[in-house]
Structure 1
């Protein structure tokens, strides 16, 4: 039987232990795989006419004790004893699953999970397991390329640095520093992101730094969380998902953004008896676990806003002790806006029956540690849904509660680290506002730009049109006629990537980038957990780590940086970024450590009402 593109079955080895079927049913909530026939004809497999469609099927390979299930991608590539297994962290989504890279030479041939009870337990998704091209397979860029007479030709780093310094100087003299900008990759290490923004702010003199996620129809979820809580980060934890008594999941992008969290939700319901509320998540398999499955007509926001009103109207003696909304700034305005909701109008607008809504209000109000997950993406033009979820989480926010809170799901592997490092047009490292630059200016010895980067523009095309020079870190880049026109108009386009792509075709200078297997540093996952990524193998001689490449570029522009390795960058980060004050390679170990949910002492969490 063909089980699909990833798992090979060999029934001659199978002992019918049913570990694979139990994993699929009990852990992955996938019931279309089981035991068939009886006696000597007994076998395991997918239902007749089906293949394995679960994103966690690869874990069956790990639990099989006899090798009856094997990895089609790795099969016959190498002997297992020829591999060197290196600990790492998967950055293909924001969960930060701990993994082992099976390497041979400078190639990743296999990926297996590495146990970390606080993050991925002992499982990983099939995307993280089988997408080996993520680690730099194929033809790599292994030296800088400079465009000469219309053709990209290989050059030494020294020549590339001199060219970049000369062109930056010319653009600054003619148009000013704000005509230069950089867009970093949200899968880069914290150290690389920190140096990226420091290079632009202190050496180039421009505050035009961002990651692609910043641009869009709506602000990134982190911006709204930052307004409410003082820091742009989730207040919930991955382990908290498994233990929360009530989980409210809004949106249908869980599997696209952070697929491994689906296993945590399944565990919470099946093992610990959590109440699962699905809002606009039309999935039959997850729907079987949900006590409340609500599909609205015109978006989730009206339902969530009415839920706020319903809880406010619930007498205090009928609410769990954690629900104390009057503690926070903006309570009276929140009460005035949502208390007197019209239930008949709500039913008409959302399609949710009155009795079902009343039951939801009672269930939510009784929850001692409600946890809210936002998985709606950023394709909608308003922010009402996330603002309503933030208000609900604030109403039940208890600073000493380890299980409740809110978490906005996203795919970018080190998006949290990018915000922490200040790769943001409106924020400095440590989530500081631009006017709070004094500590950094004292440490760096320069005056930092005070105006928002990219002129405050959130539309990517408009932001790029305001530039004359762009430093772009991207493996893939959406190219269309408008983007090509903008790139052609630039006086300087620098692209840093592992492979040639559509953006490098327009670049004046191409710089080589490290693959995820070559990176050495730290990343920060969706729950603020700082984890170490040690390099699995060495890099080609002309592919430089960020501390070395940015030091070389800064030196060409007349600024001397004294970094000696990645750890020296991390030490500087821990001195200047309050949230990372206790972070070091020794303190985080190989299991990682969440940074404290720091906020200024005079800060009071507040509701977002505009």
Structure 2
């Protein structure tokens, strides 16, 4: 600890800190532009110049390390004169366009110019003008305003992991620009808007729509992935105008993914469903809520009486709130059936009877960047979990060894120590190899259920290197991503991952796909843990007479869309509770408009088991109602007990009386599950990952996100050897077949893919008619 005096305040702070760190500790504000606590020190704006006793000149507070006995003066005439001099230089070429600048009202330069700027400029020459840059559909530029703080440049290299912007030129000819006139395509690109201290980089979707002082602010939580990023939802005239990060070091720090930041456009989509609708004689008519709910209640009663309660099924998306999922399963079990599931994209459910709790991350999110060794199994990490990818990237920067078992070899923007890029049907075999050689490296014994499977298995060099990596280090994690959880042998992957974690002393974790992937288990909206009922795949493989859809668009959200559509079309009644008009117009009988997360109170349980509640930011649109209210009234009309809730808080208290997950409810262990086989099939398999901006109903309708490169139409990717065998030229059109399902798409060569694989995204309108996301597939010339 070193003693330092700042403006007469004596404090002791750890050695290695800077004057800026010390000032923050005692609450002394030092003006700055280029400094940011999450970025490296650049010291190029010079606005933080302070007076240091015995120093020959003013010193930059952000870059000056403290020394024992140092005396610093931040408000002395000497310091203020230096700061005013810097401000004068910054304003020399800055345009006087504050009235039309989107940064107005929240601009650091504007604020500091009040205290450190002059009443008039001594500079009489012509100001410079900088040509605008096209950074894509999300970020707008006015580069004449740029003060060259380089925050955006440092963010790209240090946080996003990719250098998409840089600085060229010298003096007043300096410019910040993307390389070779490329757009900014990082999944975290919107953060440069927050980082920019002036109006050089602003939000393109928000541009010229509102002033900052016109906006009211509401706390909320993102529904789009398992992290549960904290949001500040900004509202004007009962309309969400902008979403910004709400700082929480334990969750999203001060960052947001583009999906979380720009998806609000989908809330105001023209496809919003605002009135209940009932189909009569093949035509949709708008009705009042009473008529719609009576129609639903009477229909469910009749189907239960004629065919039994087991003929009714409920499919929910895990993006719904815990309260809604809880009431949905309570409604179904009140009717006499356990046919309710929120795991629509899961294919393999054979381990359900062996689950001992809700699969979760296995550790706090904040510990990810402190790991020494990581094995990631089956994940398009940057697409599925942008901010978890950032934390793992930081771990690698600090020396962690990152190992990967995956069917695709996307650039994760970090150093990969070892990787096994194998076809989906070879992933179980690969994990078995790692487990076998890991037992050798650690001197531990394999479980008896695994020994026969690996007795004669050959271990290749890549898998041996992964095992060797996991046998060292202290803080380790074995993580299963979305693709592993959608895998046709998910249970085997889970079991072998558990073996690997136990042999290596690692934590076993799951990267939750949606806001309530964990919450669905806690709410009982899955047929596991002693709750009898059919899973989502069984409900669609053997069609029910009636379906309740909660927020689900099965044609895009299910693991086998063509099968789902056939099942829904064959049902006697389909009730779609949705915020949007979607393909349910073709197969549903009733559409009930429910509120998205900004129009209702609710709770999400993140992948780390964190319970986060929020209130609505705006009033429900039109006659939209929160889904928990719809389910409450429907339960009452059906004559079921236990639906007398007046508020969402009351529903939450019934499930989570202490506002936290019950002890022991989170557990990744399988009890006595046996791996069936590690044999590798010869069939050609589809790799059908969910595209980043097709993950849920709101994101699909966010116009600006749909204009990005990450939202381009899916193409069938295969390696060049397979393409040559098929006699097809890259760039041509092919017919993709899965059983009776067909789709015509463009084909593209991708030599990073293993043999016998076709990478073709799911959850997209172009591929919605196909079959299983990881099923057998064939290609032929169109």
Instruction: Tell me if TM exceeds 0.5.
Output: yes
Cα deviation code 1:362-395 (max 9, x no counterpart): 3311222211122334554323433321221233
**What's the counterpart of residue 209 of structure 1?**
340
The match for 1:295 among 421, 434, 437 is: 421
In the alignment, which residue of structure 1 is the partner of 2:459?
Answer: 346
Deviations 1:442-489 (A, max 9, x none): xxxxxxxxxx423x67355323x2x11111123533187765554443
Do the aligned residues in 2 keep the contact of 1:391 with 1:608 (CA within 8 Å)? no
Do structure 1's residue 453 and structure 2's residue 569 form an aligned pair? no
Supply the RMSD in Å over aligned alpha carbons: 2.8
Instruction: From 296, 306, 310, give the equivalent of 2:433.
Output: 306
Question: CA separation of 1:488/1:4 partners in 2, compared to 1, >3 Å: closer, same or farther?
Answer: closer
Corresponding position of 1:243: 370
Render the CA deviation track for 1:401-460: whole Å, top value 9, x for unaligned: xxx522233533322111221112x32xxxx313xxxxxxxxxxxxxxxxx423x67355
- Give the distance between the partners of 1:539 and 1:285, measured in 2 at CA: 41
Query: What is the alpha-carbon distance in structure 1 between the residues aligned to residue 417 and residue 313 of structure 2?
Result: 49
Q: Give the drift of 1:263.
A: 0.5
Q: 1:273 to 1:527 in 2, by over 3 A?
A: same
Q: CA deviation at 1:131?
A: 2.1
Specify whether residues 46 and 545 from structure 1 end up closer, same or farther in structure 2 by C-alpha distance, changes over 3 A only.
same
Structure 2 stretches lacking a partner, 5+ long: 1-132, 677-782
SS in 2 for 1:153: strand
Q: 2:619: which partner in 1?
A: 538
**1:412 to 1:181, Cα distance in 2 relative to 1, 3 A:** same
- 8 Å CA contact retained: 2:320, 2:551: no
Alignment partner of 1:406 is 2:508: yes
More helix by share: 1
The SS at the match of 2:285 is strand
Matches within 5 A, 1:185-334: 185-202=317-334, 204-211=335-342, 213-214=343-344, 216-219=346-349, 227=354, 229-270=356-397, 272-280=398-406, 283=409, 285-286=411-412, 288-296=414-422, 299-314=426-441, 331-334=447-450
Aligned to 2:694: none
Are 1:433 and 2:530 an aligned pair? yes
Partners in 2 of 1:357 and 1:477 — Cα distance?
37
In 1, Cα distance between the equivalents of 2:664 and 2:371? 19
Cα distance change of structure 1 residues 515 and 544 upon mapping to structure 2, 3 Å threshold: same
Q: Give the structure, 1 or 2, with the largest relative contact order (CA under 8 Å, sep 6 or more).
A: 1
- Distance, in Å, in 2 between the alignment partners of 1:144 and 1:99 is 30
Q: Residue 566 of structure 1: which of 648, 652, 677 is its match?
A: 648
Q: Distance in 2 between matches of 1:230 and 1:284?
A: 32
Q: Equivalents in 1 of 2:464, 2:624: separation in Å? A: 60
Q: Is 2:290 the counterpart of 1:158?
A: yes
Q: Give the Å deviation of 1:566.
A: 0.8
Q: 1:268-304 deviations in whole A, cap 9, x for unaligned?
A: 122x321212333755743652222443467333332
Q: Which position in structure 1 is the counterpart of 2:479?
A: 373
Whether contact under 8 Å (1:235, 1:597) holds in the other structure is no
Q: Give 3-state SS (helix, strand or coil) of 1:55's partner.
A: coil
1:76 Cα offset (Å):
0.7
How far does residue 55 in structure 1 lie from its aligned partner after superposition? Answer: 0.8
Aligned-partner SS, 1:511? strand
Q: Equivalences for 1:518-537 in 2 at 5 Å?
A: 518-537=599-618
Q: How has the CA–CA distance of structure 1 residues 241 and 484 changed in structure 2, closer, same or farther, with 3 Å as cutoff? A: closer
Distance in 2 (alpha carbons) for counterparts of 1:411 and 1:482: 22
The equivalent of 1:609 in structure 2 is 675
Contact 2:146 2:198 in 1 (8 A): yes
Q: Which runs of 5+ in 1 are unaligned?
A: 317-324, 348-353, 398-403, 435-451, 576-581, 584-592
Larger Rg: 2
**Cα distance in structure 2, aligned partners of 1:311 and 1:485:** 45
Q: TM-score, normalised by structure 2?
A: 0.64
Pairs aligned (count): 535
Change beyond 3 A, Cα 1:218–1:136: farther
